């Protein structure tokens, strides 16, 4: 069963705009991670946020985590056409646990 559920399923924006996507999960986690996948390729890790952290930044990425609501959000600021991809959240429920992925948000950034 999938632990994380992303919302929205798809997002279409123009270059320069911000893109926000959300991830909800069901059980307590050790950490939550966001990945990016270009069409037909493998996933690439973007950012990891631990259960005791509330916000994290990496370049144009900002991730928040609300453990009381069991949700996380990924914000991509000043989007570029090269940001077009699918974005997945993955939860890790304990130190040796399995990574569980959501269904992803497909983001299209038009020039």
Partner 1 sequence: DGGITQSPKYLFRKEGQNVTLSCEQNLNHDAMYWYRQDPGQGLRLIYYSQIVNDFQKGDIAEGYSVSREKKESFPLTVTSAQKNPTAFYLCASAGTSGSGFTGELFFGEGSRLTVL
**Contacting residues toward partner 1, per CB under 8 A:** 1-2, 4, 30, 33, 35, 40-45, 48, 88, 90, 92, 94-96, 98-104
Q: Which two tokens stand for residue 3?
A: 């632990």
In angstroms, rounded to a whole number, what is the distance separating the alpha carbons of residues 40 and 58?
Answer: 25
Nearest to 88 by CA among 18, 41, 35, 42: 35
In the complex, the smallest distance separating the C-beta of residue 35 from partner 1, rounded to whole angstroms, is: 8
In the complex, the smallest distance separating the C-beta of residue 104 from partner 1, rounded to whole angstroms, is: 6
Residues facing residue 44 across a β-bridge:
36
In the complex, the smallest distance separating the C-beta of residue 1 from partner 1, rounded to whole angstroms, is: 7
């Amino acid at each position: 069963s999938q632990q994380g559920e992303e919302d929205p399923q798809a997002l279409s924006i123009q270059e320069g705009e911000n893109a926000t996507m959300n991830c909800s999960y069901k059980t307590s986690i050790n950490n939550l991670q966001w990945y990016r996948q270009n069409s037909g390729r493998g996933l690439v890790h973007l950012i990891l946020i631990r259960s005791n952290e509330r916000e994290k930044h990496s370049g144009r990425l900002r991730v928040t985590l609300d453990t009381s609501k069991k949700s996380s959000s990924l914000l991509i600021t000043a989007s570029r056409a090269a940001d077009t991809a699918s974005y997945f959240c993955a939860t890790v429920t304990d130190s040796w646990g399995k990574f569980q992925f959501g269904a992803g948000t497909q983001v299209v950034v038009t020039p």
